[in-house]
Amino acid sequence: MRKEFLPFSHPSIKEEDIAAVVEVLRSGWITTGQKCAEFEDNFCRYTGCSGAVALASGTAGMHLLLHALGIGPGDEVITPSMTWVSTVNIIVLAGATPVFADIERDTLMVSGDSIRECLRERTRLIVPVHFAGAPADIDSIRQLAERNNIFIADDAAHALGTEYKGNRIGRTGTAIFSFHPIKNITTGEGGMLCSDNHGLLEHVRQLKFHGLGVDAYDRFTQGRSPQAQVVTPGYKYNLTDMAAALGLSQLRRLDAFIKKRTALALRYRERLVEVDEIMPLADPLYPMKHAWHLFIIRLDIDKVGLSRDAFMEELKKRNIGTGLHFRAVHLQKYYQESMGTRRSMLPNTEWNSDRICSLPLFPDMTIEDVDAVVDTIKEVLKR
């Protein structure tokens, strides 16, 4: 058994990250300012998107998007139930109705076909999730959205560095990224909404800071008056310069992070061939580059006679941490009670929700760590 606990994720924070944040702390300007602007510029250069707004979280980005699109009571938003709860919570808090699309069983992605089944007259927005670092088949979903005049925004929380048919996610359309500590880069907490729709970007930029036409830095550098006028009631979802400095420093190492994540993931795949009871996810068939945010397996619970939760517990007892991405949202207490959602509505989502488990994957891990995880899995399954 491993002597030290191996967490499922751990941010890679080096001296250069610390120095970047300390520089901001010493500068006298710690909230939204030049570092945020620089982070937005470099993010655009990396993804190829034409404009981006740095925000307090990915969830904040989803909230501002719904507000900017005027989505509210009577509107429907299609998204998978196999997602983080934040998207669905925000839809409900906006007074709109989430409509859950089922996923492909072996990639966990929504498809054009599954979304088509959810289209109705009141559908206003589609939010596909690029899962685990691989891309959803965005062309087929966009075609459907365009034909029906529906807005589409990619949930790209897992997809910084992911490529779809030769382009990085975020290059076209509208996408929301997250910089939560387990993500491919982190700012502690943070997010980015990027879009090629400049009207939308400007609206989000206003909404992120009280609905003033300018943010704190503009007011400081350009004088408080007459810019500080409320143009529209807004929120307080700006990112700080301390966080942006960390993001800038991390972004410089993103390609190296992905390279390392890829090597670790390939080792998992190679070693897990030895374990019949474990089914890793499959790669989508269209051209893509995986950014390996998560390494997800499905446990053959019928064969091993052990629930997924018990399996995770056994690994924990042996000093291996795991994650769960995700428990189906439509089976969570609030949604079952308020929407009447239940089992058998989304077969592929439910099948995976009972079996999935994310294995440790982060850039500072070693190949030996991967081997230790697989050896421990084999030991657990032998019992």
Ligand X SMILES: Cc1ncc(COP(=O)(O)O)c(C=O)c1O
CB of 263 to ligand X, least distance (A): 23
382 has catalytic annotation: no
Q: Rg for the chain (alpha carbons), in Å?
A: 21
Contact 71/94 with Cβ under 8 angstroms?
yes
Instruction: Give the contacts of 94 (CB within 8 A, at least 6 positions apart).
Output: 63, 66, 67, 71, 72
> 129 or 244: whose CB is closer to ligand X?
129
Give the C-alpha separation, 44 to 49, whole Å.
5
Instruction: Give the contacts of 83 (CB within 8 A, at least 6 positions apart).
Output: 129, 155, 326, 329
Give the C-alpha separation, 218 to 33, whole Å.
8
Q: Which residue is nearest to ligand X (CB)?
A: 58
> 179 or 217: whose CB is closer to ligand X?
179
Q: Which of 14, 35, 165, 183 is catalytic?
A: 183
> 87 or 174: whose CB is closer to ligand X?
87
Summarize as ranges the residues that interact with ligand X (CB under 6 A): 57-59, 83-84, 86-87, 129, 155, 157-158, 178, 180, 191
CB of 195 to ligand X, least distance (A): 17
In eight-state DSSP terms, residue 322 is -
CB of 261 to ligand X, least distance (A): 16
CB of 153 to ligand X, least distance (A): 11
> 59 or 376: whose CB is closer to ligand X?
59
φ/ψ of 78, rounded to 5, equals -90, 130
Contact 376/309 with Cβ under 8 angstroms?
no
> 57 or 172: whose CB is closer to ligand X?
57
Buried b (16+ CB within 10 A) or exposed e, 170-191: bbbbbbbbbbbebbbbbbbbbb
Instruction: Give the contacts of 280 (CB within 8 A, at least 6 positions apart).
Output: 268, 269, 272, 295, 296, 297, 298
CB of 81 to ligand X, least distance (A): 12
Q: Catalytic residues, which ones? A: 183
